[in-house]
């Protein structure tokens, strides 16, 4: 059975654990990164079906992560969902190439719905 893979870049430990638990229970294979640099390294090692990134993170923020992903030929078409509490940052993320944006505090159902919308064509989540 195919399980869609998602890489989530989030610097908050508690939120990372919440996302792992929630999305794993909903059929996703979840990998985590604590900042944009770590996420970019992970993406280069193994491409997920979707990248989800916080916009405000140390080391490399989500906007820069999105820019760098869009510049890499192997990753340029990767669906990206960006989230932030600040509308201005969401606008920057979208202009940098985010597929979708979600405002924090993030409703986990909204994240799940966004993931389903951006999954690559022909791939559906099997429960």
CATH number, domain with residue 78: 3.40.50.2300
pTM, two decimal places? 0.93
- Number of domains the chain is built from: 1
Q: Which domain holds residue 98?
A: 5-118
Helices (H), the chain: 13-25, 36-45, 62-71, 87-96, 108-118
Assess if residue 125 is contained within a domain: no
The model's pLDDT over 2-57, given as tens digits with 9 standing for 90+, comes to: 789 999 999 999 999 999 999 999 999 999 999 999 999 999 999 999 999 999 99
Rounded-to-integer distance, Cα 49 and Cα 56, Å: 22
Assess if residue 127 is contained within a domain: no
Question: What residues contact 28, with CB distance under 8 A and at least 6 apart?
Answer: 3, 4, 5, 6, 115, 125
Assess if residue 126 is contained within a domain: no
Assess if residue 109 is contained within a domain: yes
Assess if residue 102 is contained within a domain: yes
Assess if residue 123 is contained within a domain: no
């Amino acid at each position: 059975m195919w399980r869609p893979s998602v890489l989530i870049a989030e610097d908050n430990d508690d939120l990372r654990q919440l996302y792992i638990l929630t999305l794993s229970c909903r059929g996703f294979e979840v990998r985590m990164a604590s900042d944009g640099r770590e996420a970019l390294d992970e993406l280069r090692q193994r491409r997920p079906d979707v990248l989800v990134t916080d916009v405000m993170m140390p080391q490399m923020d989500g906007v820069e992560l999105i820019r760098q992903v869009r510049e890499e030929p192997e990753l340029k078409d990767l669906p990206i969902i960006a989230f932030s509490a600040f509308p201005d940052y969401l606008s920057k993320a979208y202009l940098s190439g985010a597929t979708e944006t979600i405002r924090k505090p993030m409703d986990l159902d909204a994240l799940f719905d966004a993931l389903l919308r951006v999954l690559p064509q022909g791939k559906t989540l099997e429960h």
